[in-house]
Structure formats: C-alpha cells, structure tokens
Amino acid sequence: MEFRELTEGRSIQRPSIDRDELSAEPADFKGEFDCEYSLVDAGEQAGVTGEGSVAHSVVRRVDLSGSYLGPVTLTDTTLEDVDLSNASVQQLTVRRAELLRCRAIGLQLSIEQASDLYVADCRLDFAVIHIDKVKGIAAFVGCSFRETVISGFLSGVVFLDCDFADTEFTAANAKGCDLRMSRLAGARGLLGLRGALITAEQAASVADQLAIEAGLTVCD
C-alpha cells in the first residue's frame, strides 16, 4: 500500500497496480467495457459512447475527446496523458485513481463518489464539474480551472497550486475544503465556500469579490 503525501501530514492512497502483471490491450471504450489488469497505450476513441469499469489498469495517451461515458467506475487505475476535451463523464465512481497530465478542456464531469482521487497537472478549463460525495480525500494538484464551474459537496477536497481564474463555485458544502495553496483571484461564488480553509493573504486578494457577493458597495 503506497501513499502520496499532500500537506500537513495528509496523504492519499495510491492505486494498487503491478505494472509487470498488466496485459497490453487495445483502446476500446465503446459500448459496455470491462478493463482489468490491462495496459492500454494509445488509441483513437474520440466521440465514442460507452459505460463500464476499469480496474488495476493503466490507460495512457488515449484520445477520448468528445466521448460520452457513464456510468463509469475506476478502481486502482491510472490515466496518463489522456485527452478528455469536450467529453462527458457521468456517474463516476472512484476508488484509488490518478489522472495525470490529462487534457480535459470543456469536460462535463459528474462524480457520484470519490475515495482517494488524485488529479495532477490537468487542464480543466471551461469544464463543468459536480461532486456528490468524497469519502476520504480528493486532491487536485497543479490544475487549471479557468472559467470552470465547480459545484456540489467539496468537503474533503484539497486544491494545491491550482488556478481558479474566473472559476464559478456553487458549493453545497465546503467545510474543510483546503484552498490554501491555490490562486483564488478572479473566482466567484466565494460566499458559498463557508468552512473552507484559506490564508490571510488569499482573504485579502478576494476581499473585494466577497464584499460584492455580500451586497456591499465598495468605494474608493
């Protein structure tokens, strides 16, 4: 069992994958799929419609742009350099999964439940992301959320070194959501993030926006 260290002693469990035991498989996410103990390396799957599960597997350099996938379950799975631009991934359940360096501009994503989800160095600009439940931790590290809408239950979500320029938050619950190492300038919907963690410096950077959302008139 391996863990990634996040911050202040917090860690997230990594997927349990033995890459030496994986079998090379072609990319095939059309229709019903059940991918297990597989290495899927490259493939053109743009625009496909499918549903199923991926377990104990690595999927890398697959083009899933414009696809519609759901419901989908990821268990002990790593996605590397996958293109999810303008895709729709619905009813996603995650148990120990990593998304690394994925391009997901315009992604429509609905997460039913996430347990030990780690998303790093991904472009999630112009996306719509909804989270229903996080069990344990979901971490987004070094991700861009420019002009993205993030909604739902953000308790248990950690954002490290993320960019929220023109991001719209519509959180149902954000108690304990950790935003302390990200850039919040330009973000909206901040009053809905009650209970989230930010620094004094961040508070100063978003003071005007908070005042506007509270209905105050800011005068020079």
How far apart, in whole angstroms, are the C-alpha atoms of residue 86 and residue 132?
Answer: 21
Predicted confidence at residue 215, as pLDDT, reads 83
Residue boundaries of the structural domains of the chain:
3-213
Q: pTM of the prediction?
A: 0.93
Instruction: Show Cβ contacts of residue 173 under 8 Å, excluding neighbours closer than 6 positions.
Output: 153, 154, 155, 195
Residues 155-182 pLDDT 10s? 989 999 999 999 999 999 999 999 998 9
Asked whether the predicted pLDDT for residue 183 surpasses 80, the reply is yes
How far apart, in whole angstroms, are the C-alpha atoms of residue 76 and residue 41?
Answer: 17
Residues 45-56 pLDDT 10s? 999 999 999 999
CATH 2.160.20 applies to domain 3-213: yes
Residues 13-70 pLDDT 10s? 999 999 999 999 999 999 999 999 999 999 999 999 999 999 999 999 999 999 999 9
| The token pair that represents 124 in the structure block | 């999630």
Instruction: Show Cβ contacts of residue 94 under 8 Å, excluding neighbours closer than 6 positions.
Output: 73, 74, 75, 111, 113, 114, 115, 116, 117, 138
Predicted confidence at residue 145, as pLDDT, reads 97
Q: What is the overall mean pLDDT for the chain? A: 94
How far apart, in whole angstroms, are the C-alpha atoms of residue 152 and residue 92?
Answer: 14
Residues 79-91 pLDDT 10s? 999 999 999 999 9
Predicted confidence at residue 105, as pLDDT, reads 98
